[in-house]
Structure 1
Amino acid sequence: MHLGILTGGGDVPGLNAAIKAVVNEACRNGWTVTGFRRGWAGPVQTDPDNLEATADHHFPLTPDFVRSINRSGGTILHSSRTRPSRMKASDVPPHVTKREPHADAGYVDATGHVLSVIEALKIDVLIAIGGDDTLSYAAELHEAGAPTMCIPKTMDNDVFGTDYCIGFSTCVTRSVEMINRLRTTAGSHERFLIVEMFGRNCGMSALAAGYLADADRTLIAEVPFELERLAELMTRDRDTNPSNYAVCVVSEGAMVSGEGIIEKGEADAYGHRKLGGIGERVGVGLKELTGTNMMIQNLGYLLRSGPPDAVDLIVAKNFGTQVVQLIEEGRTGLMVSISDGRYVTKPADISTRGEHRVDVAGMYDTQNYRPKISKVEGTTMYLR
């Protein structure tokens, strides 16, 4: 058996642990593993008629090669936001001759080329590790005839079909640590502390961080907020704090009521523009309304960087092992997932069938802008 593996989208701690688990479990079976570099760009950049000339985009993975990679964050395979089924015609390499016109002008579908690469390399099953964008294309590829398996990862924990995604625990752990560190400076200068963190459409990471760090207010992507109301609440929080400061955690996808999401730059292959700036918007707005000085901190890539915590190590290792065990049973076209605390499987396209968002009614106080777990009993360990 010959397996392929790639990682797509934003990196998270735990990806290398999953890669290592796949390689070790596969090699114990006497199988071989090829890693594609830079996500779906790897097969696109590979020439099936001249594999040696494009060998930089794929390489063999062995137990010796992956021996220590689980100790660090990121992904040794690198990543990208390439979407072979919708690529700008100008970005497609000349060797990609199997392409179809896309409904969007100026774009092409290079899925035929990806299938040719998989065939040329004699890959039996391709494993994709990523968020809903990366996994949605893996499901497309499976439907097109190339057996695939999916492993969910995202710091936002928002892939539909699983209670947990690789990267979430480390993200929240780091967020809580950094928020609490920042308290000393905010208190020393008697300021409002505004902490911006990940969460495009799902405020789960911000909600969990705000909940565990006991932030005064938490703004999530699912609930637009009134700036005047926030100013009143934050002023009250500061006045009642013996150290005379207050903390607000903000999802990058949060919105002031009546305003849109703050984005910049061109859209990527999946239609997403870069987020960032809502923390500044909140800080400037609060300063104008209250006169209180601000400390604004975007945690950003600090949450992606560095090694995984114990939860992301065990989930990543078990997901990688589980995928190979399923392939050994002859099962493909699946996404490994966690449901009710157990490792289970879902169809590969499950991520396209719904959305994972914060249960606002059960977990958020929309009037006071803070987490409020209405009933702990029956809630999953990760507040899903």
Structure 2
Amino acid sequence: MKVGILTGGGDCPGLNAVIRGIVKSAPKDIEIIGIMHGWKGLITGEVTKLTDDDVEGIHIIGGTILGTSRTNPFKSEENKNKMLENIEKLGLDALIAIGGDDTLSVAAKLSSLGYKVIGVPKTIDNDVSNTDYTFGYHTAVNVGADAIDRLHSTAKSHGRVLFVELMGREAGWITLEAGLAAGAHLILIPEYPMTLEEIVRYVNERMDKKSYMIIAVAEGFKPTDLENVIGDKNEVDAFGHIRLGGIAHYLAEIIKEKTGYDTRSVVLGHLLRGGTPTAFDRILGTRYGVHAMKLVLEKDFGRMVALRGNAIVSIPLEYGIATKKFVPFEYYKLAQIFFG
């Protein structure tokens, strides 16, 4: 039996733990084929065989040994046909796709065509539905909180308003939890927009009483009086997403103009993705990988592994992409207690 593995979309800490979990838990008569650079590798036919030796100790390393890309093979008929031809050429009896909403949407389409697919949810934003957590998120929150911790002293020393931009296209989980953990004085996330005047009011009220302010803002946050999110509309990926970035700089400039305070912006960006995964993410990734192989051995295809409480379960693949998991208002209300 041949089982393919691919990692698609953005990298995040814990991917290698999943790969290791799959390979190590596979019986000796199963051949594991690593597909390079996500769905792109199934179009080009770039693959590598994975053995126990290849995955030794990789769970402590960030990124993915298989590489990744944001490739949508269903975007063109030619690429779709190349992918299907390569699945047949490689003799893959099953495919484990590790990725977020976009990667899993391709996996679900393949499954609907009759291919034997298992999904493993991966997104640093923690916004895949029907799973409590995705690996990589815990590491990102820790890195974000540590960075904001460090910014308190410099902001206070100079009496500045600091805008810290974190990842979060549509869901603000990282920004909320990193900001809450590190004592940010205002947290701005896509789910609960504010007007620029509301932000100005928070800044003036805080700065009237204290000497500095730190504002955590998600990259996908958009003030209600701004027409579009801030990003490069000329750079769109294969799934139609524009490249986000720049909201912290934009807000810093506007707030400086409106209040006169000394403002600065810091973009954490890919720092949140990189480096060694936390113990939590190593273990979660490992458990996901082992359970994915278990589903293959049980021939229970068209499923996605998920975390429910402390149990690893499986759900229909389409449930994982049905909706986005957004920050509930009650949680945001908790954070609001500490604004100002």
TM-score, scaled to structure 2: 0.95
Deviation of residue 340 (structure 1)? 3.2
Please name the residue that 2:58 is paired with: 69
SS in 2 for 1:338: strand
Please name the residue that 1:200 is paired with: 169
Distance 1:353 1:232 in 2: 38
Please name the residue that 2:16 is paired with: 16
Instruction: Give the partner amino acid of 1:263.
Output: G
Distance 1:7 1:72 in 2: 15
Report 1:110-189 matches (<5 A).
110-189=79-158
Structure 1 residues 71, 195: CA separation in 2 closer, same or farther (over 3 Å shift)? same
Deviation of residue 202 (structure 1)? 0.5
1:254 aligns with 2:221: yes
Please name the residue that 1:379 is paired with: none
Instruction: Give the partner amino acid of 2:12.
Output: V
The percentage of counterpart residues that share the same residue type is: 40
1:322 aligns with 2:321: no
Q: State whether residues 199 and 205 of structure 1, in contact with CA within 8 Å, keep that contact through their aligned partners in structure 2.
A: yes
Deviation of residue 266 (structure 1)? 2.4
Instruction: Give the partner amino acid of 1:24.
Output: K
Please name the residue that 1:382 is paired with: none
Structure 1 residues 62, 184: CA separation in 2 closer, same or farther (over 3 Å shift)? same
Distance 1:285 1:303 in 2: 26
Deviations 1:198-230 (A, max 9, x none): 010111111111111121100001122112221
Distance 1:220 1:305 in 2: 22
Distance 2:115 2:244 in 1: 34
Please name the residue that 1:32 is paired with: 31
Say which of 245, 251, 263 aligns to 2:231: 263
Q: State whether residues 196 and 225 of structure 2, in contact with CA within 8 Å, keep that contact through their aligned partners in structure 1.
A: no
Deviation of residue 371 (structure 1)? 4.2
Instruction: Give the partner amino acid of 2:74.
Output: S
Please name the residue that 1:224 is paired with: 193
Distance 2:318 2:73 in 1: 17
Distance 1:173 1:364 in 2: 19
SS in 2 for 1:266: strand
Q: State whether residues 194 and 224 of structure 2, in contact with CA within 8 Å, keep that contact through their aligned partners in structure 1.
A: yes
Q: State whether residues 4 and 94 of structure 2, in contact with CA within 8 Å, keep that contact through their aligned partners in structure 1.
A: yes
Distance 2:111 2:83 in 1: 12
Instruction: Give the partner amino acid of 2:163.
Output: I
Say which of 292, 298, 301 aligns to 1:332: 301
Instruction: Give the partner amino acid of 1:34.
Output: I
Please name the residue that 2:322 is paired with: 353
1:82 aligns with 2:71: yes
Q: State whether residues 94 and 115 of structure 2, in contact with CA within 8 Å, keep that contact through their aligned partners in structure 1.
A: yes
TM-score, scaled to structure 1: 0.84
Please name the residue that 1:93 is paired with: none
Instruction: Give the partner amino acid of 1:58.
Output: V
Distance 1:12 1:234 in 2: 33
Number of matched pairs: 336
Please name the residue that 1:43 is paired with: 42
Q: What is the RMSD computed on CA atoms of the aligned residues?
A: 1.6
SS in 2 for 1:85: helix
Gaps of 5+ in 1: 47-56, 88-99, 101-107, 374-384
Q: Which runs of 4+ in 1 moved over 3 A?
A: 369-373
Distance 1:266 1:19 in 2: 31
Deviations 1:287-315 (A, max 9, x none): 01111111210000101110100111110
Please name the residue that 2:241 is paired with: 272
Distance 2:197 2:335 in 1: 16
Deviation of residue 329 (structure 1)? 1.5
Deviations 1:87-131 (A, max 9, x none): 4xxxxxxxxxxxx3xxxxxxx5x3333222112111111011110
Distance 2:203 2:28 in 1: 58
Say which of 201, 206, 209 aligns to 1:237: 206
Q: Which structure is higher in helix share?
A: 2
SS in 1 for 2:63: coil
